[in-house]
Amino acid sequence: MTRRGGHLDLVHELLDHELVDVNGTPCGVIDDIELTGGIGERLRVTALLVGPGASGPRLPRLVGWAVARLFSTRRVRVPWDQIDTISERIVLKTTGASLGLGKLDRKVGRWLARLPGSDKAH
Amino acid sequence: MKKVLEIFLGILTAMGGFVEVGELTFALNAGSRFGYDLLWIVALGTLGIIVFCEMAGRVAAARGQPVFNLIRERVGFSGGLITLIGANAVCVMTCAAEIGGIALLWQLLSGWPYRPLLLLALVFFLVVVWFFKFNWIERVFGLLGLLMVVFCVAVYMMEPDWNEFAKGFIPGLPVVESSREILVYAFFAVSLLSSIMLPYETYFYASGGIEDHWKPQDVNLNRVIVLIGFPLGGVLAVSLIVIGAEFLGPRDIEAHLPGTAAMAASSQLGKVGLIVALLGMFFAFAGAAIETAMSAAYNLSQFLGWPWGKFRPPQQASRFTLSWVVVFVLATLVVLTGIDPIKVVEYAIVFSVVVLPLTYFPMLMVAQDRNVMGEYANGPLASVLGWFYFIVITLAAIAALPLMIATHGGQG
């Protein structure tokens, strides 16, 4: 993993930053951060969490509840060792699809594929 | 040559922001009601949108980050979500008004009923945005929106009192009979400022810069574009105020329909003037409809980290594509209810000034942050102007709703 500077500010440098895969395709925004470690133990970042299931609980309770009902509670866990670079964007070492990111985008994409001209950048 | 054509991003953004159906009504009515007294607001607003879009374009070129990406990063999820909902509600309402305005224009030309024309306009937009490349959207709607220059010609032929005209650019209060009239003047001033500094202009402009693959070395190109595109829009807004003052005011005509402005052009330039004005308005409204629908889709995609942009095939930016389709459909449904498009856009303009500081502030914060912008951070001029306009728009945002309520939407 490469990044600027010495220490990492989780809230300012990770949370709410865009996640892109190895090809530069956006794969979501870092909605939450998974930390592991008990009391007295070393606290470690083990994964970044993406999806409404991770961002919903950050909203005021009633709004969060509505979002969960209206959309989904799906969240994708991106293991920390899959992160390549941290700058304005968080860059993955691999493709988003291999980590289960952007599933809905591909589903809607297959549906759009039936329309003429959907495979060309216009 | 390709770089020269980039200018049309600025022109389209400015045309779609300055001379859409709402600006047309507000500027004409402002002129008809207060003569040249509000011209200084156009100058103030034009410089403001130049400052704001220059920052947005510079951040897009230097960091490759569009507006809602920054809002999410700086304000977080909950705060950003409020801004997103407000911004996109304004986009849908404005898009609805433009589609309504286009159907009204087509009705003038064809005599066909209004509602089927709304549906026809919807089909037109879906086909155009699906099949046109981004730079062709820029060029076609930017270039042909320039037909609106016919209003400048009409103003020149009206031979206005240039002395009075120049005085209009000096800030001040008009001579009025009652304190109530001052409130109406203030309402028009805030609305006119808002209709020029529409926040969707920056969403579209910054995303458009990324669509056009701007790199850090394009920051100077960005400056040239904002310095040509937006003053051009400003000149058109000034022309509309003069038309309001010279043509509508003395005849007691209130601009309720987009066709009113075309009448002014035809009074000076005959049938040719009428046709050029109607065509210019069509392309300017269409540009605004595309700008708002795409802005809403850009905002949503950037906030949630979806692949976005016309530079990707629709299949690969599928939720983005679906978003602009949904915005066009929703906007058409709004006007299909029979609600007056001019009323819709008047509300949209007043609410957009309330949203404006929320999008402006994170942009200002990033643009002046040397840690992230390096050599491209705000210099002394951009800093002073940036903070000055932040104060101006915050005051406007605070005053907008109370003024709207107190004056019954400018009715007095």
Closest CA of chain A from B359, distance in Å: 16
pTM: predicted TM-score of the whole model, two decimal places: 0.93
Give the mutation candidate from B65, B67, B75, B77 for the A interface (greatest A CB count, under 10 A). Answer: B77
A17, A30, A48, A88, best to mutate vs chain B, most B CBs in 10 Å: A88
Averages of pLDDT over runs of 10 residues in chain B (412 residues) are 75 77 86 92 95 94 91 90 94 95 91 95 96 89 88 92 91 79 91 91 92 91 90 92 89 77 86 91 93 96 95 94 97 95 88 91 92 91 95 95 88 72
Q: pLDDT at residue A28 above 90?
A: yes
CB neighbours of residue B156 within 10 Å:
12
Nearby residues of B147 by Cβ (< 8 Å), 6 or more positions away: B276, B277, B279, B280, B283
pLDDT digits over B298-324, tens only? 999 999 999 999 999 999 999 999 999
Judging contacts by C-beta atoms under 8 Å, the chain B residues touching residue A108 are 318-319, 322
Residue A118 lies in a domain: no
Q: What is the pLDDT of residue A4?
A: 53
DSSP string, B14-47: HHHHHSSHHHHHHHHHHHHHHTTTTHHHHHHHHH
Nearest to B386 by CA among B54, B73, B41, B43: B54
Q: Considering CB atoms only, which of B133, B310, B313 is closest to A118? A: B313
Q: Which residue has the tokens 């004409």?
A: B28
* Total number of residues shown for chain A: 122
Mutation test of the interface with chain A: which of B74, B306, B320, choosing the one with the most A Cβ atoms within 10 A? B306
Which of the listed CATH numbers 3.30.499.10, 1.20.1740.10, 3.20.20.80, 3.30.450.90 matches domain B2-406?
1.20.1740.10
Nearest residue on chain A to B63, alpha-carbon basis: A88
**What residues of B are in contact with residue A32 (Cβ under 8 Å)?**
none
| Least CB–CB distance from B306: residue in A55, A105, A120 | A105
- State the pLDDT confidence band at A122, using cuts at 50, 70 and 90: low
**Structural domains in chain A (count):** 1
Half-sphere exposure of A5 (CA within 13 A, CB side): 8
Please determine, for residue A34, whether its predicted confidence score (pLDDT) is greater than 60. Answer: yes
Pairwise CA distance, residues A96 & A27, whole Å: 6
pLDDT for the residue numbered A49:
95
Mind telling me how many Å the CA of A37 is from chain B's nearest CA?
26
For chain A, say whether B371 makes contact (Cβ under 8 Å).
Answer: no
Which residues in chain A have their CB less than 8 angstroms from residue B213's CB? none
B65 in A contact zone (CB under 8 Å): yes
- What domain range includes position A67? 2-112
- Distance in Å, alpha carbon of B130 to nearest chain A alpha carbon: 7
Structure tokens at B263: 């009448």
Residue A101 forms part of a structural domain = yes
Q: Least CA distance to B307: which residue of chain A?
A: A26
Task: State which amino acid sits at residue B113.
Answer: P
What is the distance in angstroms between the Cα of B6 and the nearest Cα belonging to chain A?
17
Average pLDDT in the A60-85 region? 88
**Best CA proximity match to B41, nearest among B183, B228, B168:** B168
Nearest CA of chain B to the CA of A8: how many Å?
15
Q: Any CB–CB contact under 8 A between B376 and chain A?
A: no
Q: For chain B, give every domain's residue range.
A: 2-406
Among B322, B312, B307, smallest CA distance to A120 is for B312
CATH assignment at residue A86: 2.30.30.240
A119 inside domain: no
Separation CA B410–CA B192 (nearest Å): 12
Measured between beta carbons, the chain B residues lying within 8 angstroms of A105 are 306-307, 318-319
Give the residue from chain A lying closest to B65, CA to CA: A88
Q: What pLDDT, on a 0 to 100 scale, did the predictor assign at position A2?
A: 53
- Kindly state whether residue A122 falls inside one of the protein's structural domains: no
**Cβ separation B319–A26 shorter than 8 A:** no
Name the residue type at position B386: G
Query: Chain A neighbours among B 116-175 (CB < 8 Å)?
Result: 130-134
- pLDDT for the residue numbered B3: 72
Q: Which residue has the tokens 């912008």?
A: B373
Q: What's residue B412's pLDDT?
A: 67
Interface check for A21 against chain B (CB to CB < 8 A): the answer is no
DSSP of B51-105, one letter per residue?
Answer: HHHHHHHHHHHHH---HHHHHHHHHHHHHHHHHHHHHHHHHHHHHHHHHHHHHHH
Contacts of B79 in chain A (CB under 8 A): none
